[in-house]
Amino acid sequence: MPDRLPLVYHPDYVCPLPEGHRFPMPKFGMVNDILRAEGIAGDDNTFQPDIADESLLSCVHTPAYVHAFLTGALSDAEQRRTGLPWSEALAKRTRTAVGGTLLTARLALEHGIACNMAGGTHHAHPGFGSGFCIFNDLAVAARTLTREGAVSRVLVLDLDVHQGDGTAAAFQNDASVFTFSMHCQSNFPFRKTAGDVDIGLPDGMGGEAYLSRLEHELPGILDAARPDLVLYDAGVDVFSGDRLGKLDLSLPDIGERDEMVMSFFREGGIPLAGVIGGGYDRDVYALADRHCTLHRSACQVHGIEALGASA
């Protein structure tokens, strides 16, 4: 087990968006700032990813879609579906975040645990982007590692409040990747794409019921997936005050959820790579702090000490 939690971050995780845009882009830089202030992140344990190239992205996405996005050739309708206006900076940011999740997965295989400070773009389908998701970092990481032979089976454990429809679509004919999504049934996407196991929850479900259901599901998922690696989407849009969520979990509930997941797979000796997933709040700093629950929980479960504020 590492002395410090392996983390992945790049300044290009943040790029400009039009003023007033509802996607909280600054949160990624704030997550890094908070984790550094708490001594969880430092120069010695924070790694910068390589940018994903067209061939890497095309292991999941159609070459035509990859090329159209990277050259700024998406139609207005296709851009509206992603919810993000195209720019060269956005293209670079998106490719860097995909590279970040792949690096996080490699670090998890080496150290048993690693966490990205971005990731979870699970609405991106092979041929189109959707819901603030352009390329699917979880899917690219899973397919790359299985094709390389680094692992035989991957579990994508998606606890974002929204169903991971793009990830499900990518692996409908690929038995090497098992997809599990536990989400608010009435929330986006309104047309779900069936994964291996999908649990749709009712609006307003609170923490006690949520955690009980998750605890009940985990053993069966482990038996069905038999993974060599878990990619964990720790979306915080399950929070009761989230702008785009419909569940009612408190911040302690989210911490208990993350600790439950990490403890369960640690006890089984299965490496886990965490990504931050979705979260939406007008108070972007509060949102970033909420996302840091993932990294704090990783330290807690794995007995990794923060070293105090670092430069």
User: DSSP states of 225-237 as a string?
Assistant: H--SEEEEE---T
Active-site option among 123, 125, 162, 183: 123
**What pLDDT does 189 receive?**
97
Q: What is the value of pTM for the model shown?
A: 0.97
Question: What tokens were used for 294?
Answer: 């993932």
Q: Which residues of 38-71 are buried (b: 16+ CB within 10 A; e: fewer)?
A: bebbbeebbbebebbeeebbbbbbeeebbebbbe
b or e along 129-149 (b: 16 or more beta carbons within 10 Å of the residue's beta carbon)?
bbbbbbbbbbbbbbbbbbeee
Residue 113 within a domain? yes
pLDDT for residue 310:
41
Give yes or no: 123 in active site.
Answer: yes
**DSSP 3-state percent helix, strand, coil across the chain (nearest 5):** 40, 15, 45
In-domain check, residue 172: yes
Residue 2 included in any domain: no
Chunked into runs of 10 residues, the chain (311 residues) has average pLDDT values of: 92 96 97 98 97 98 98 95 96 98 98 98 98 98 98 98 98 97 97 97 98 98 98 98 96 98 98 98 98 98 75 36
Residue at 308 is within a domain? no
pLDDT at 306: 77
Q: Which amino acid is at 261?
A: V
The verdict on residue 122 lying in a domain is yes
Residue 278's domain spans which residues?
Answer: 7-302
Burial class (CB in 10 A: 0-12, 13-18, 19+), 116: buried
What kind and span of H or E run contains 197?
A: strand 197-201
The CATH number that applies at residue 151 is 3.40.800.20
63 Cβ contact list (under 8 Å, min separation 6): 54
DSSP 184: E
Q: Is residue 307 part of a domain?
A: no
Structure tokens, 191: 């047309």
310 within domain boundaries: no
Does residue 74 sit within a domain? yes
Count how many domains the chain has.
1
**Distance, CA of 35 to CA of 42 (rounded, Å):** 8
* pLDDT value for 2: 80
